[in-house]
Each structure stands twice: as structure tokens, then as C-alpha cells.
Amino acid sequence: MKPGMSQSTQLRQELKINPRLYQAMDLLYMPLLDLQQHLKQELLNNPFLDLVEAEEEDEEEQAEPEAVAETPEEKERGEEIDWEEILLDGFDTAGGRREEHEEREYYEPVTVATRDLSDHLRDQVSLLELNPREMLLADEFLGNINDDGYLAASVEEIVMSLNEVIAQAAELDDRDLGELPQYTVSEGEAMLKTVHELDPPGVGARNLRECLLLQLGEAGLTQSVPYRLVDTCFEELIAHRWSEISKRFGILASDVQKAADEIAKLDPKPGLRFRSGDENYIIPDLIVDKIDGQYHIFLNDANLPRLRLSKAYQEIARDKKKFEGENKEFISNKLNSANWMIQAIEQRRQTMLKVMNYIVDRQRDFFEKGVQFLKPLTLREVAEVINMHESTVSRVTNEKFVQTPRGVLPLKFFFSSGLATSDGDDVSARGIKAQLEKLVQDEDPKHPLTDQAIVNILRESGVQIARRTVAKYRDQLGVLSARMRKRI
């Protein structure tokens, strides 16, 4: 290869995206609470933005919009925002399709000072008369109890782990731990019995069977039929083999089922009651209300800061003498940013209303009659009707909620696949699930409906569905099979 320098020409496409497009996409994606915080922050950062007071808002709605002075920077760049083109193209830019923007995740604040299962158990252990050696072993056991309340490691593993810590401490000449004798498995078994006596009953169990036995023992039912069933024929009990169990114990099958009902009242995951129960409050972004027989859509943005261009700073922008040196760049950037923000917020409002209006028109039967009449709907269908890009509709519906006469629902609730009916119409998969749930709820417990029976009933109503699809929907709803639902 001959060393040297050379010049060459090359033609290529380069993708340059205005950062404000990212900002506009984030505004569409933001739920109401996040948008409120974002606008408040913008008010603090941009002096060209001003807050419209409630009494001023009505006056401004009646007045003609005031023309905003165009800065020299705007004239040079010619940056006129064509929102229609941006939304129709799904935020694509000239020069090629951009890669999908990674949507920002929004996290709700969580309470820091919460007490969990571990705190609850340690409070109880601190009241026991344990020597330091036993306290160390107890703490090791508590550290291996998961959120469900189960022991996540065997006794042997816990003892071995603690002994390794002691051995390492001895090598480091740590007198606090290094001089402790090694723990034995029998000591671990004895400590596990102590843990099993703690509240809630069933905590520290190694499996579901032991958890149920501990709870029955705590209730003083060690001589009862439920205790005997869990202790000696747990697998048959899970499989609902009532006849087989009745023959084995010489009792009526109905008595076996009654005992199983008592067992079902026990808590299979006792630790979850101490899980942090922070309530997540939902503020709907949209409101659908029925007035005089017509459905009307409103934006729930009464508490959203209303922005306008600051009159004081507009006067500064009009003063050409101020556009010198650093002032020119600062004023130009802030004014352009303020204009962009106001237009982006208004476009967000209009886009959300367009999407929700079509959803209400399409799902009118749902609002009138219930979830069984929900029709299949896709993002692409909405995008084609309102003449926007599918990705734009996706951002509008993501993490958004609507208050309706049938409750507060996520916008994604209205979107689902569909099945064909005999009359040529389509029915939503979510509507089919609702019908399935209703059929199971109203069935005769002694003669529960099989999957094929449900298929036949749905076909009579015009819904063409396969048995495996019914089984899939039933599993998704957490409904047991007909044999498992049967009552004696």
C-alpha cells in the first residue's frame, strides 16, 4: 500500500432529527400527571412562557390570537412547524425514515418509609430469648424468606452459608465471628421450628403443603379431616379426586369436598399481606359523558397549566436592538422553544380528541350494552380513519385512561383482535372472554360446562370459535377446567 493523502467525493443520505421532534413525541406519550410536572418545569426554564390565569383564559378565548413577532433567527432558518405533516408521517423526517424513538419511562413516586415482612419478623425475633449465636442463625433464616413467606433455601444450604461466613471471618482474625463454633444441621432444624411459630402462620414453609399444615396446626386442627387430607393425600387433593379420597378414608365424597373448601380458605402466600400496598391513583386523561342521548368527549385538563407567550418578553423580542451578541441567540432559542411548546400541547389535545371520538363511534355498543358487545379494533384502523400514522396513535393511547359511564378504563382496553360471526360481523376477543366468564358464572356447579359445550353455546349465538381457543381464553381468565369446577 502506498502511503499518502487523497481526496474523494461521496454521496450518502444522513439522518438529522430536530430534537424538538423527540420532545413532541414525549408530550404525546406522557400521562396527565407527568405532563403537568413537565409544563411546570418548562415555565421555570423558559421566560417566554407565561401561565394563563383562570379569569384571563375566558377573555383570551374570545379575543383574536395576537401575532407573534418573528425573530431574525426564524427568518434565516424558515422553521415553520407543519404539524399535520409530522403527525401523518408518524414523526418521520425528510431524508429517510428515522429509527423508532425509545419512549421514556415514567415512574410514580413511591413511599420510602414502609415496613415489609422482614421487618415484621425481625420485630418478633427481637422479643425472643435468644443468645447471640442463635440470633445470628435466626437472622440468616429471615434473610432467606421471600416475599411470599416461603423459605427460599434448604436448612442445609443456610447452615453451610453461615459456616462459610464464620470461616472467612476466622481467616481475617475477626473475633466477633471467627471464634464462633460451626453450626450444625440440627441447630438449623431447631431454628426453623422457631421461625414456623412466628406470625403470620405458615411463614418459613418450604412448600405449599407445609404452609397449609402450619396454618391448620396454628388453628388447632391437627386432628381434623382437612389436616389429614393435606398431610397424606395432597396430590389427590390438588387434582380434585374426591371419589378416590373418599374410598381411601371411608368418608362421603361430599365431606371430602367440604374439607377441601375449608383448605381453600387458607392463605397460600402468607407473606404477601405485608407487601408494600401503595395505592396507585389514576387520573383519567379523557372523559366520556352521555348528555341528552349523545356521547361527548372532554379532555380532563382543567388542572393542566395553560401556557401563552409572555407579553413582556414579546416586547423584548420586537425590539431589534436587543438582538445583538449573546442576547440574539438566547432570545431566539427561547422564543422558538416557547412557540413550539404551545403548539405541541395544542396538537396533543386535538390528536387525543380525534382518537377518542373514533373509539366512541366504533364502540358505541359497548357503552350502551356492555363488554360483551365490544368490537375488534386495531391501532392501524384508527390511524387510517383519522388520517395519522399508526405510531402516533400508539403514543396517544399508551398509559392513558378515560373516565366513561362504565368506569375508568385504559385506552388500550378498546383495542383487541376479533373473531368472525355467522352474520359476517366481527366480535372482540375481550367480548368473547366476558361471555365465557358469564357462562361459567351461571353454570350448574354439579354439571359444569365443558370447553366443547361452551363452543356450542357461542356458535348458537353466531360466534365461530375453536375449542382450543376457548381453552386458551379460559386459562387466561384463570378459570379451571370443567372437571376441576365440578361440585358434588
pLDDT by residue for the chain (488 residues), tens only, comes to 566 676 777 766 554 445 656 666 777 778 788 888 888 888 888 887 887 765 555 555 555 444 444 444 444 444 455 555 655 555 554 444 444 444 444 444 444 556 789 999 999 999 999 998 899 999 999 999 999 999 999 999 999 998 888 888 777 766 566 567 889 999 999 999 999 999 999 999 999 999 999 999 999 999 999 999 999 999 999 988 988 999 998 889 889 999 999 999 999 999 998 876 555 678 899 999 999 889 999 998 877 778 888 777 767 667 666 566 666 777 777 778 888 888 888 888 888 899 999 999 999 988 998 888 888 888 888 989 888 888 888 888 888 899 999 899 999 889 877 665 655 556 778 888 888 988 999 998 888 999 999 989 988 888 888 889 888 889 888 888 888 888 87
Q: Which residue has cell 432559542?
A: 333
CA-to-CA distance for 41 and 32, rounded, in angstroms? 14
- The C-alpha cell that represents 224 in the structure block: 381434623
Superfamily name and number for 418-485: Homeodomain-like (1.10.10.60)
According to the model, what pLDDT value does residue 228 have? Answer: 93
Enter the pTM of the model. Answer: 0.61
Is 150 in contact with 205 (CB distance < 8 Å)?
A: yes
pLDDT at 293: 87
Burial of 6 (0-12, 13-18, 19+ CB in 10 A): exposed
Helix (H, G, I), strand (E, B) or coil at 149: coil
Q: Which positions ≥6 away from 138 have C-beta within 8 Å?
A: 125, 128, 130, 191, 194, 195
State the pLDDT at residue 56. Answer: 55
Are 268 and 213 contacting, i.e. CB atoms less than 8 angstroms apart?
no
For 119, the grid coordinates are 421487618
C-alpha cell at 13: 443520505
